[in-house]
Chain A
Amino acid sequence: MSTSLIYFWACAATAVLGGLSVVVAKNPIRGAMGLLMLIVSVAGLFLPLHAQFLAAIQLIVYAGAIVVLFLFVIMLLGPSASTPVDRRGTFVRAASGGLFALAGGAFWVILARAVGTGGPAAPDPSFGGIDAVGSVLFTDALVPFELSSGLLMVAVVGAVAVARGRQGKRSMSESELEVARTSVPLPDPADKGTGVFSHEIDDRDAGGHAR
């Protein structure tokens, strides 16, 4: 067994374990950690495929932003983030079992086909690097690239609008209305004041000139 094959199987095993723990974990925090495991091992799988740039993006965007966002929301919700045991009907269980059987069959058929097939030769060393992918992004894929920036902007604005709820337009409660209605009393001209506040001093000066 060659080194690259051992590396592949190690990454594949951690990826499947991570994916399973996302689905199985009762505590969503553990699910998020499983997702992190999956993401890191998929980034590891990108490396032998000569996708160094995508591996870095995967770590930065998924592990750095998306998983952290999940953790923020889980911690914001507190204990209510984890729901009691999910019980589904027999149909969904049968469908799940059928899906797994289908995938298992496909897995073995594909692996049996794979025996003896060789991969392509090593590509240009710059293949998959940031300059190669970047030049594609700014030439062939320029329009979708710019559109995706618009998508992200709309998503951020929409997320803020949805998550804030109605707080922006919230009407004032009764006590706040009472406070708002009660106007601050104007200083009494006859009151000489305590000499502490500036408007008292101004009033006294003005009064002195008039006299």
Chain B
Amino acid sequence: MIPLEYYVALSALLFVIGGVGFLVRRNALVALMSIEVMLNAANLALVAFNRWRFEHVDARAYAGQDHTGQVFAFFVIAAEAAEVAVGLAIVLSLYRLRRTVRTDEADLLKN
């Protein structure tokens, strides 16, 4: 059996990779993809904690059928699909307006 800590450590590593990508890259598409990486890391942690929680904490309530973490990850996936649809639409309209996908040239609200 793989310890829970392995999953949490992997999740932290993936989250940092996504966060650094979001900070460092100026391509709006890559920034969106970095958000995907971060959310995947969060999902991994949620599912891993769910696997342990049902054994240690809440065995009496659901008799081993506590899916809170998995359901939470499910909603994260749904919210993320919505976020990607709107985000890509914004990238497209930014490209139509400015002929670029660089985030530092999206300064329409400046001044």
Contacts and interface: CB of A to CB of B under 8 A. Distances in A.
Q: Say whether A associates with B.
A: yes
A187 interface: no
A70 B29 contact: yes
Most buried by A among B5, B80, B90: B5
Contact of B75 (A28, A123, A144): A144
Interface string B32-54: 11101100100110011011101
A158 B86 contact: yes
B86 A49 contact: no
A85 B7 CA distance: 33
A22 B89 contact: no
A12 B81 contact: no
B109 interface: no
Given A23-B21, A51-B70, A121-B55, A156 B14 contact: no
Nearest to A115: B3
Most buried by B among A19, A57, A76: A19
Nearest to B26: A86
B108 interface: no
Interface in B70-97: 70-71, 73-75, 77-86, 88-93, 95-96
> Majority SS of interface residues in chain B?
helix
A120 B5 contact: no
Given A54-B70, A61-B77, A133-B71, A74 B21 contact: no
A180 interface: no
A117 B16 contact: no
A118 B51 CA distance: 13
B86 A54 contact: no
> Majority SS of interface residues in chain A?
helix
Size category, B interface: 35 or more
Contacts of B93: 162-163, 165
Contact of A69 (B14, B44, B84): B84
Contacts of A62: 36, 40, 77
B55 A162 contact: no
Contacts of A10: none
A124 interface: yes
B13 A103 contact: yes
Interface of B: 1-10, 12-21, 23-27, 29-30, 32-34, 36-37, 40, 43-44, 47-48, 50-52, 54-56, 64-65, 67-68, 70-71, 73-75, 77-86, 88-93, 95-96, 99-102
22 contacts: A12-B10, A22-B34, A28-B33, A31-B30, A31-B33, A54-B74, A66-B80, A70-B33, A76-B92, A80-B101, A81-B27, A99-B16, A100-B16, A100-B20, A119-B2, A127-B67, A128-B67, A141-B71, A151-B78, A155-B85, A162-B89, A163-B89
